[in-house]
């Protein structure tokens, strides 16, 4: 079978919603707060921006009932569109709220003071941290001590406490005892030297977390400042830690733009297990729709369809008349015709986009569809 060229592939898709790596490099896909913390499964902000321009008017309110890392909400606020997000993951809610929050000059001073205090605490011989189980398994002793010292130095009522939690989580991710070429796929800690396909040399497991705490403190401050120049006065936003099937919405929604979880692909709580452990975040993993742990059996697919239909039906009840429901999804199992029908939504259009990069390691071509529907 002949290999199809990029030009041939692009002849069948929506060119305004598809980009090559050259056209849209990683630094643009992770611009300002979109790169505040690694997150699997997010779509590029340029896609959210294009869909908002097509379907949602400035001054109105958009909902993302599966807001994840907050891509739709961040772009909406930057465009003067009110934004409401829902997510069942406490970490996702923390991440999205911090992306949307306005920070003043005191944030930089607060984070730098916190970092210095944590470094001093970790070096104090009398410091005896309480190390959570996940940290004890996946981190070396030096990293454990430094991460716990930073955690114990965060003042819960400080305006920068949320950003500090993200610095801590990101440093915890980077300082795990995992292969550099398998950050997202590791199933066991690595404690001995190994051949690294990323660096093309023998690497040793990471020791310590202080350098990551320093690096991400600077990076977080730079990204927050970058978004401040983009957002201007911004628009109102709200992020609910809730299940989209039962979340209480108190405002009329002028449209939905979302990329829902796929069936059997990701476990959204598990990918940030280190953060849940360190930050004592409440877990609602059983409420995830279509987690990888449940697989893609016929029974799992049926449960996914029922849950997704219920979620879309519930949030659609808050839509203004004729408001669009825009869903970005790889519907390879052709589930969404039935899901939308069960949710009381009529499909109006279906456009194809080519996905240049979706996760850190993916072979072959990958496509998504943009489904636009409205309430019956």
Which domains can be identified in the chain, with CATH numbers?
A: 6-89+238-267+282-375 (3.40.50.150), 106-228 (no CATH)
Residues 173-201 have a mean pLDDT of: 89
Residues 328-341 have a mean pLDDT of: 96
pLDDT at position 3, please?
Answer: 47
Computed over every residue of the chain, the mean pLDDT equals: 91
- Read off the pLDDT of residues 132-162 as tens digits, 9 standing for 90 and up: 999 999 999 999 999 999 999 999 899 999 9
Report the 3 state secondary structure along the chain.
CCCCCHHHHHCCCCHHHCCCCCCCCHHHHCCHHHHCCCCCCCCCHHHHHHHHHHHCCCCCEEEECCCCCCHHHHHHHHCCCEEEEEECCHHHHHHHHHHHCCCCCHHHHHHHHHHHHHHHHHHCCCCCCCCCHHHHHHCCHHHHHHHHHHHHHCCCCCCCHHHHHHHHHHHHHHCCCCCCCCCCCCCCCCCCCEEECCCCEEECCCCCCHHHHHHHHHHHHHHHHHHHHHHCCCCCEEEEECCCCCCCCCCCECEEEECCCCCCCCCCCHHHHHHHHHHCCCCCHHHCCCCHHHCCCHHHHHHHHHHHHHHHHHHHCCECCCCCEEEEECCCCCCHHHHHHHCCEEEEEEEEEECCCCCCCCCCCCEEEEEEEEEC
Which of residues 28 and 277 earns the better pLDDT score? 277
């Amino acid at each position: 079978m002949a290999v199809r060229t990029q030009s041939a592939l692009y002849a069948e898709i929506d060119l305004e919603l598809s980009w090559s790596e050259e056209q849209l490099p990683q630094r643009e896909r992770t611009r300002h707060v979109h790169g505040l913390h690694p997150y699997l499964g997010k779509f590029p902000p340029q896609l959210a921006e294009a869909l908002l321009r097509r379907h949602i008017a400035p001054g109105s309110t958009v909902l993302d009932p599966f807001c994840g890392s907050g891509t739709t909400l961040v772009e909406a606020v930057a465009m003067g569109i009110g934004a409401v997000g829902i997510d069942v993951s406490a970490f996702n809610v923390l991440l999205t709220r911090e992306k949307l929050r306005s920070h003043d000059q005191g944030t930089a001073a607060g984070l730098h003071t916190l970092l210095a205090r944590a470094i001093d605490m970790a070096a104090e011989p009398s410091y005896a941290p309480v190390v959570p189980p996940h940290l004890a398994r996946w981190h070396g002793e030096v990293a454990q001590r430094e991460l716990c010292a930073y955690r114990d130095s965060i003042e819960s009522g400080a305006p920068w406490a949320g950003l500090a939690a993200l610095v801590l989580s990101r440093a915890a991710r980077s300082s795990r005892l995992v292969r550099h070429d398998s950050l997202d796929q590791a199933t066991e800690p690595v404690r001995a030297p190994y051949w690294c396909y990323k660096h093309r040399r023998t690497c040793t497991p990471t020791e310590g977390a202080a350098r990551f705490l320093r690096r991400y403190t600077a990076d977080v401050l730079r990204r927050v400042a970058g978004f401040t120049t983009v957002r201007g006065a911004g628009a109102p936003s709200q992020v609910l830690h809730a299940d989209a099937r039962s979340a209480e919405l108190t405002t009329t929604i002028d449209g939905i733009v979302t990329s829902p979880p796929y069936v059997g692909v990701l476990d959204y709580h598990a990918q940030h297990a280190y953060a849940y452990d360190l930050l004592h975040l409440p877990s609602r993993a059983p409420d995830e729709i279509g987690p990888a742990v449940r697989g893609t059996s016929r029974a799992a697919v049926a449960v996914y369809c029922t849950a997704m239909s219920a979620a879309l039906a519930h949030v659609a009840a808050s839509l203004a008349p004729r408001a669009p429901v825009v869903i970005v999804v790889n519907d390879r199992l052709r589930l969404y015709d039935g899901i939308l029908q069960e949710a009381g939504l009529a499909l109006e259009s279906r456009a194809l986009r080519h996905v240049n990069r979706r996760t850190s390691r993916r072979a072959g071509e990958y496509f998504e569809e943009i489904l636009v529907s409205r309430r019956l």
